[in-house]
Amino acid sequence: MKADGLVKRSLHEKLFGKNKFKYRYAFTGYAMIAPAFLLLTIFVVIPLGIAIFRSFFDYQAYAEIQKFVGFGNYKIILQTASFVHSFKNALLFAVVIVAAQMLLSFSFAHVLKNCHNRYGVFVRTVIYVPFLISGIAAAIVFLFMTNYGGGLINGILLALELDPIAIDMDTTWARISVILPTLWLGFGYNSLVMYAGLINIPKDYYEAATLDGAGWFTKLVRITVPGMVNYFLLTLVGLLTGALTMFELPFLMTNGGPLETTLTPVLYLFNNYRNVLQSSSVTIAGAILVMIIVGALNAGVFFAVQSKASEDD
C-alpha cells in the first residue's frame, strides 16, 4: 500500500509538477484574505505610518518644508503635567474597574451557571442589554441620576432631609460617577464570558474532586481557576484596554474635572487637539505614546500568562 502511494505521488509530480498539489489552493486563500488585508492597510497601516512620520515634525498644513524636530514632540507631551496626570487617573481607573469587574462578573457567572430553568435564558439576555448601549447614552442616563438640581440621587437625599451631593464638584464622587457606569456597561458581557468558561469545564473534574473529599475552595483553586485562565486573560485585556482609553463617560459626566481628577489620556488628547496654540504633531505624539503604553501593558499580560502556563506544563 505504501509503495502504491509513492508511485501515485511520483506520477502526479511528473504530470503536474512537484508543488502543484501543495499550492493549488493558494490563490483561493490569498484571494479570500486580500479584501481584509487591503482594508487593514488603507485604514490602519497607512494612517499609522503617516501619524508616526508627522510626530517627528513640527507639521504645518500649508508649509512647503516641514521642520524636523525628532523626539521633540514626545518630549513636550511627556513634560506636560496634565498628560502625565491623566495617565495616573487612567491607571487608577484601570485598577479599580478591572478588580471590581473581574470579581463581580466571575461571581455572577456562578449564579448564571446554576440557573437551569427557563428564567436563566431571560437573565442572560437582560444583563447583556447594557453592553449594547453606547457610552454616550449611558452617560446621559447617569447624568439624570446624578444631577445636582433635579437628579434622582439628590432627590432621594432631599426627601430624606439630607444634604444633596455636588457629584461633579467632589473629587471622590466624580471618580465614582465615572466608574459605576463603566461597570454597568461591561458587567453583562464579562459575566457571559465567565459563564462560557465555567460551563466548558468538564463536570467529571468536580465529581472526581468530590469523591476525593475536596471542598468548594479546593475545587475553586484547583479546578475552576486553572480552567478559566484563557477567559480571565480575555476579560483582563479587554478591561485594561477599555479603562486606559476611556473617553465618552469622563467627557460627558465630568469633562475631566474637578481638578483633572477624571481626566484620561484620550480626553486630554481630544481637548488638546483643538488647542490652536499648540502643534497638532504634539497631540499625535501623545496618541502614539498611548498606543505604545496600552500595547506594552497588554503584551506584558500575555507574556505573564504564557510564562505561568509554561511553568505549569
Query: Of 115, 309, 288, whose CA–CA distance to 198 is shortest?
Result: 115
Measured in degrees and rounded to the nearest 5, phi and psi for residue 104 equal: -65, -45
Cα-based distances in Å from 311 to 6, 91, 98, 298: 43, 29, 25, 20
Give helix 229-244 / helix 280-312 axis angle, nearest 10°.
170
Measured in degrees and rounded to the nearest 5, phi and psi for residue 278 equal: -125, 145
Amino acid at residue number 181: P
Q: How buried is residue 101: exposed, middle or buried, by Cβ count under 10 Å (0-12/13-18/19+)?
A: buried
- Is residue 105 classed as helix, strand or coil in its secondary structure? helix
Residues 153/145, Cβ–Cβ less than 8 Å: yes
| 268: Cβ contacts below 8 Å, ≥ 6 apart | 82, 83, 86, 256, 286
Query: Of 172, 185, 190, whose CA–CA distance to 89 is shortest?
Result: 172
Q: What is the mean pLDDT of each run of 10 residues along the chain (313 residues)?
A: 51 52 68 91 91 85 76 89 90 92 91 79 84 84 78 80 80 89 90 89 86 85 86 88 88 86 90 78 90 87 66 52
Helix ranges (H only) for 67-170 are 72-78, 81-113, 119-128, 135-146, 152-159
Q: How buried is residue 73: exposed, middle or buried, by Cβ count under 10 Å (0-12/13-18/19+)?
A: buried
**Residue for grid cell 484571494:** 31
Please tell me what DSSP assigns to residue 256: T
Query: Of 313, 259, 312, 267, whose CA–CA distance to 290 is shortest?
Result: 267
Q: What is the pTM for the complete model shown? A: 0.79
